[in-house]
Amino acid sequence: MTVTTVADSGSSAPTIASSPRFWRRLLRRKLAVGCLAFLAVIIGIAIVAPIVMPDVSGQFAGDLLGARQGPSSAHWLGTDSLGRDVLERLLVGTRITMVGVAEALVAVLLLGVPIGLVAGYLGGKADRVVSWLADLTFSMPSIIIILVVLSVFPQNMAAAMVTLGVIAAPGLMRIVRSATLPVREELYVAAAQVSGLSRRYIIFRHVLPRIAGPIIVQSSLLAAVALLVQSGLAFLSLVVPAPEPSWGGMVADGVQTIVLQPWLIWPPGIVIALTILAFGLLGDVVRDATAEGWSTTVTRRKKRRVATRQAVSSDDKALLSIENLSVVFDTRSGPVPILDDVNLTVRPGETVGLVGESGCGKTITAMAVLGLLPGTGRIAAGRIRFNGQDLSALSDKELERVRGSQIGLISQEPMISLNPVFRVGWQLTQAVRTHHPELSRRQAKRRAVELLRLVHLPDPERVARRYPHELSGGMAQRIAIARALAGNPKLLIADEPTTALDVTVQAEILDLLRELQRTEDMAILLVTHDWGVAADLCDRAVVMYAGQVVEQAGISPIVYEPRHPYTEALLAANPHAHEMDGDDKTLPAILGMVPKPGEWPVGCHFRPRCGYAIPECAESAIPLAIPAAGHETRCIHKDFLER
Ligand SMILES: Nc1ncnc2c1ncn2[C@@H]1O[C@H](COP(=O)(O)OP(=O)(O)OP(=O)(O)O)[C@@H](O)[C@H]1O
C-alpha cells in the first residue's frame, strides 16, 4: 500500500479557508453540513462514551450464554461472541479509532505544513531538497514500514499511526509548497517584507491562512486513509490489545463468527464505511467551496495582477499607457486577433524599444497609438492613454490634433513619406503651420530651416530648396525627423528608423535621436527588430511575439538576464553580439516562423518554437509573471522565473 494524496485537490487555489466567507460557502452545501454533523457526532461519542461507560474498555466477557445474539430490546445491536453489548463496544471503541486517526493527522500536519511552507516561500535549494526527499518517500512501501515499526513497538498504536503520518507528510508538503508559490508573489507579502517583518511571521501569519483551504481538503482525505489503516491494523490485532474495543477489532470478531452470526460484522463495518465516506466527501465539498472561492479569487487576482502589472509596466507618471490592448482585423470569416492584451508604458523623456521579429505586431501597436490602424483593423478591447487623455475614445478629428502635434512619427521609408512633387522646405513649412497656425508664413519658413539645422543637415537653406529625389537616404530620414519635430511632440514613434540606411548613416541617425531626446525632452517609442539599436538607444525594452508582449524590463536586465525563452533566442540570434564577440560561427537562428494571426497556438504562443516547452505551456493562456522588480515575463518556466 502506498499512502497517496490528491495532488490537485485545490492545491493551486489560494483561498482564505479561515474567513467567514469560506465557511458561508461551505455551509451552503447540504452535503458539507451532513458530513460535518456526522463527524461532530462521532467525535462527541469518542469523548463522552468512555466516560459514561467506563467498564466497557476492560470487559473481557459478558453474558456468555447470551453470546452472538441479533438486535433485541435489551441489546439494540446484539451481543458479540463473548456476550458483550455490541452498541456499547461500538460507542466506546470510537475513541481509540479516532485517537489513531488524530495521531496520524497531527504527524502529517506538523511535518507537511511547515516544511511545505518554507520550501514554497524560500524556493531555491530548500525547495529542491524537499522535493528530492518527497520523491524518495513516495517510493517507500508504507505498510511494510508500519509493520517493521510495530515489530519494534508491539501493540503501540501511536507508533504505527505517527509512522503513517510521517510517510504521508511529503504528499502534503508538495501541496502546501505549490499553494505557497503564488501567495508569496502577492503584493501584501512584498509589503510585509518591505516593512521588516520576520520571515517566520510572514510565513505563518500572512501565507498560512491563505493556503488553509488545500490543507483542510488534504487533512480530510488523509483522515479517511488513516481510519482505514487504523481499522486494518486493529482488525489484525496489531495495535489495540484485548479487551479494549475498537471498530477494526469488532470487524475481526464479526469475521470469526460470520457463519454463526453474520450480523456482527455489520455494525462496525457500516460505521467505518460511513466515517470514511464522511471524511472523503467533506474533502470533496471543501475543495468545491475552495474552487468556488477561487473562481471569484481569480477575478480578484486578475484585477490584482493588473494592479501589479501596472506597478511594473505603467504608473501615474506615464506619458503613454497602453492598457490591455487587443486589436482585431475584421475578415469575412470573422474578426482575426492581431494584438492580444498588450500592456506597455512610456514615461516622459524615456526611450522604450519595441522589439520582436517581423509580424509580431510592433507596427500595429504603434499604429494603434496613432489611431492609424490599416484596413479593417480596430481596437477590440483595452485603452490607450496619452498625456492624461484616452486616445481610443477620441474622434478622428480630435486624434488628428494629437497626431503630429503631440505624437510624431518617423517610419522605415522616409523617402516614401515625402511628397516627390514639392520642395522639402515647402513640405516642412506646411507641417509647421499645421501645428502652429499662429505663425505667419515667413515665421513658419524660418522655423522649417531651424528644424533642418536641428537635425544637423549642412546648409539647411539649400536643402530646403531640394526635391525629395535629390536627397540621400540619410538626409531623407533627417528631414522626416525634422518634420516629426514640427509640432514639438512629447512622444516620437520611430518605426524601424534606421533599417533602410547604411551602417554609418544608421549610427548618425541614432546619435541624432539620442541628442534630440535630450534637448527636446521627448519620449521615444522605438520599433525595431535590432537589439543593437535597442541597446544603444533605449532605457527599457518591450519584447513582442505573435501579438503579445512576452517580456519587458530595463534594457540591461533584459539583455543580460532575459526571463523569456523568446528573448533569449532573439538575443542569441543578434548579429551584433556575434560581431562583438569576434565569433565567426554560424549565427543561431530561431527555428520555425512567427505564427500568423488566427493561427496562434493555445497557451504560450512561442511554445512550438521553444526548446524549454513543457506540457503546462499548452494548457491555457500564460499570465504575466513578475520575476523581479520592473521585470515582466509571459513564461511559466521555473528556470526563467528563478534566474
Ligand atoms: N492591413 C492588414 N490587414 C491584415 N493583417 C495585417 C495588416 N497589417 C498587418 N497585418 C498583420 O498583423 C501582424 C502584425 O503586423 P506588424 O506589421 O504589426 O508586425 P511587425 O512586428 O511590426 O513586423 P514588421 O517588422 O514586418 O513591421 C502581421 O501578421 C501582419 O500580417
pLDDT of residue 401: 76
Whether residues 226 and 354 fall in one domain: no
Domain stops at, among 531, 549, 567:
549
Q: Is the pLDDT of residue 408 over 90?
A: no
Regarding the beta carbon of 528 and ligand 1, being less than 6 Å apart is answered no
pLDDT in tens, 592-619: 889 999 899 999 999 999 988 889 899 8
Q: Domain holding 400: CATH number?
A: 3.40.50.300
Residue 201 placed within a domain:
yes
pLDDT of residue 295: 45
Tell me the three-class secondary structure of 126-163, residue by residue. Answer: HHHHHHHHHHHHHCCCHHHHHHHHHHHCCCCHHHHHHH
**Which is more confidently placed, 583 or 140?**
140
Regarding the beta carbon of 20 and ligand 1, being less than 6 Å apart is answered no
Whether residues 405 and 477 fall in one domain: yes
Q: Domain holding 81: CATH number?
A: 1.10.3720.10
CA of 615 to the centre of ligand 1 (A): 29
ipTM (interface predicted TM) = 0.95
| Long-range residue pairs from 429-434, CB within 8 A, at least 24 positions apart, any chain | 431/404, 431/483, 431/486, 431/487, 432/486, 434/404, 434/405, 434/486, 434/487
Residue 144 placed within a domain:
yes
Average pLDDT over residues 485-489: 85
Whether residues 277 and 345 fall in one domain: no
Weakest mean pLDDT among 162-166, 185-189, 262-266: 185-189
- Distance in angstroms (rounded) separating the CA atoms of residues 251 and 275: 15
Regarding the beta carbon of 412 and ligand 1, being less than 6 Å apart is answered no
| Secondary structure (3-state) at 629 | coil
Mutate to test the pocket of ligand 1, among 363, 379, 548 (most ligand atoms within 8 A of CB): 363
Domain that holds residue 347: 320-418+471-549
Query: Ligand 1, closest atom to CA 527?
Result: 22
pLDDT of residue 188: 57
| Secondary structure (3-state) at 545 | strand
Mutate to test the pocket of ligand 1, among 325, 360, 544 (most ligand atoms within 8 A of CB): 360
CA of 503 to the centre of ligand 1 (A): 26
Residue 531 placed within a domain:
yes
Which ranges in 53-122 belong to alpha helices (H)?
A: 86-122
Instruction: Report the chain's mean pLDDT, rounded to a whole number.
Output: 84
Query: Ligand 1, closest atom to CA 360?
Result: 21
Regarding the beta carbon of 364 and ligand 1, being less than 6 Å apart is answered yes
Per-residue pLDDT band at 8 (split at 50, 70, 90): very low
Q: Is the pLDDT of residue 330 over 50?
A: yes
Q: List, in order, residues 6 or more apart from 490 with CB less than 8 Å away.
A: 319, 348, 387, 406, 407, 522, 523
**Which is more confidently placed, 316 or 531?**
531
CA of 389 to the centre of ligand 1 (A): 26
Weakest mean pLDDT among 292-296, 315-319, 491-495, 605-609: 292-296
CA of 359 to the centre of ligand 1 (A): 5
Whether residues 295 and 255 fall in one domain: yes
| Secondary structure (3-state) at 577 | helix
Domain stops at, among 283, 309, 335:
309
- pTM score of the predicted model: 0.54
pLDDT in tens, 336-370: 999 999 999 999 999 999 999 999 999 999 989 98
Whether residues 361 and 303 fall in one domain: no
Regarding the beta carbon of 468 and ligand 1, being less than 6 Å apart is answered no
Weakest mean pLDDT among 85-99, 111-125, 149-163: 111-125
CA of 505 to the centre of ligand 1 (A): 27
CA dihedral 410, 413, 415, 418 (to 10 degrees): -40
Query: Ligand 1, closest atom to CA 597?
Result: 29
Per-residue pLDDT band at 18 (split at 50, 70, 90): low
Whether residues 202 and 337 fall in one domain: no
pLDDT of residue 533: 85
